[in-house]
Amino acid sequence: MRHGRYPFIASFLALPVVLYLILVIYPTLRTFYLSMTLWRGFDVAPVWVGWDNYTTLFDDDRFWKAITHHAQLLVALPLVTIAIALFFAFLLNVGGGSSGGIRRGVWGSKFYRVVFFLPQVLAIVIVGVMFQTVYRSDNTGLINGIITAFGMDHIAVLVNRHTALWAIMFVAVWQAVGFYVVLFSAAMANIPAEIYEAAELDGATRISLFFRVTLPLLWDTLQVAWVYLGIAAFDFFALVNVLAQDGGYGGPDGATTNLGVELYYAFSKSKLGYASAIGVVLFFLTLTFAALTLRVTRRDTVEY
């Protein structure tokens, strides 16, 4: 390596590193510090209280409710989203059989691709507000308008504590599927056609094509999708804030709350130390999840 090359590289790296330190590392460390203090966000120095914020937090029923909901979402959200997205992506790309040696999607797949992706271009809050109308509990709501027209009783999915969380999760899935369809489509396009051809010559059905060829060759992409969706399960604030009962505070009765909601609430009450403690817990949960997922799902990449 030629002399003087390191200073040259370093000069390029310096600015991003400084920005990273100021905008990411410093605020993170500062949050750790604040989580050990009582601070209301004014020009008064934070007061050190040690682990007090954490003991209060761990004694709070709502905190454990929030954790439970994260766990439920962590399993359900990626599973459902990826399953649906994979199914659609398969149909759009290889589900239509082959002609002239080229695999193609089902009829109209280009149109469907746009339709699936559409929710993705909407801001999450707009999606939430839209689903307020879908779920609204009187017959001006989309669902209730239809079912009451058939003489059925109103259903109020957001009011019922057993269905509220899943109703909100459905919105998240609805919004996310389009993105993962595109992601998986791109990955599928990279799979060489010869492999399919060979498999088909050997008499593989579409189902075994999917499980024996497509899925294994998409493993890297799936892994990324799983981490993204897992993080989305931890960052589930916006939809709950817009859709949940109790004016967005994770209602009914805390049945849809999560750490983001609790954090926001503490923050808005000037309990910045407590809010920071929630933030720190969230930080470690997300980090642990990402690290675990990447480790557990590690496999040798197939070269082709």
Q: Is the peptide bond prior to 252 cis by the omega test (within 30 degrees of 0)? A: yes
Site stretch for another protein (CB under 8 A), options 190-198, 218-226, 229-237, 241-249: 241-249
Decide if residue 144 touches another protein (CB under 8 A).
yes
Q: By CB under 8 A, tell whether 42 contacts another protein.
A: yes
Rg of the chain taking only CA atoms, in angstroms = 24
Contact 194, 101 (CB under 8 A): no
Residue 81 burial by Cβ neighbours in a 10 Å radius (0-12, 13-18, 19+)? buried
CB of 141 to another protein, least distance (A): 8
Q: Which stretch binds another protein (CB under 8 A): 117-125, 131-139, 196-204, 280-288?
A: 131-139
Torsion of the alpha carbons at 145, 149, 150 and 155, rounded to the nearest 10: 30
Helix or strand holding residue 163 (H, E): none
Place of tokens 């890297």: 220
Out of 38, 124, 199, 224, the only residue in the binding site for another protein (CB under 8 A) is 38
Half-sphere exposure of 128 (CA within 13 A, CB side): 15
Specify the stretch interacting with another protein by CB under 8 A; choose among 38-46, 171-179, 201-209, 280-288: 38-46
Closest separation between CB of residue 67 and another protein, Å?
19
Applying CB under 8 A, does 63 fall inside the site for another protein?
A: no
Distance between alpha carbon 44 and the CA centroid of its chain, in Å? 37
Give the span between the Cα atoms of 244 and 221, in whole angstroms: 32
Site track 269-298 with another protein (rule: CB under 8 A), x = hit:
xxx---------------------------
Of 96 and 252, CB closest to another protein: 252
| Interface pick for another protein out of 13, 246, 284, 292 (rule CB under 8 A) | 246
- Report if residue 43 touches another protein, rule: CB under 8 A: yes
The span of 44-52, 85-93, 192-200, 220-228 binding another protein (CB under 8 A) equals 44-52
CA distance 145 to 163: 19
**According to the binding rule CB under 8 A, does residue 113 interact with another protein?**
no
Exactly one of 71, 253, 288, 292 binds another protein (CB under 8 A); that residue is: 253
Closest CA to 172 of 244, 101, 111: 244
Check the CA dihedral 89-92-93-95 and report its sign. Answer: positive
Least distance from another protein to the Cβ atom of residue 177, Å: 26
d(CA 266, CA 278): 9
Q: Cβ 48 to another protein, closest distance in Å?
A: 9
Interacting stretch for another protein, rule CB under 8 A, among 22-30, 37-45, 86-94, 293-301? 37-45
Asked if residue 149 binds another protein (CB under 8 A), the reply is no
Answer yes or no whether residue 136 interacts with another protein by CB under 8 A: yes
CA distance 219 to 187: 10
Told to check if 58 binds another protein by CB under 8 A, we report no
Residues 198, 204: Cα–Cα separation, whole Å:
9
Q: How far is it, in rounded angstroms, from Cα 164 to Cα 136? A: 12
Which residues form the interface with another protein (CB under 8 A)? Answer: 38, 40-45, 47, 49, 135-139, 144, 154, 156, 158-159, 245-249, 251-253, 268-271
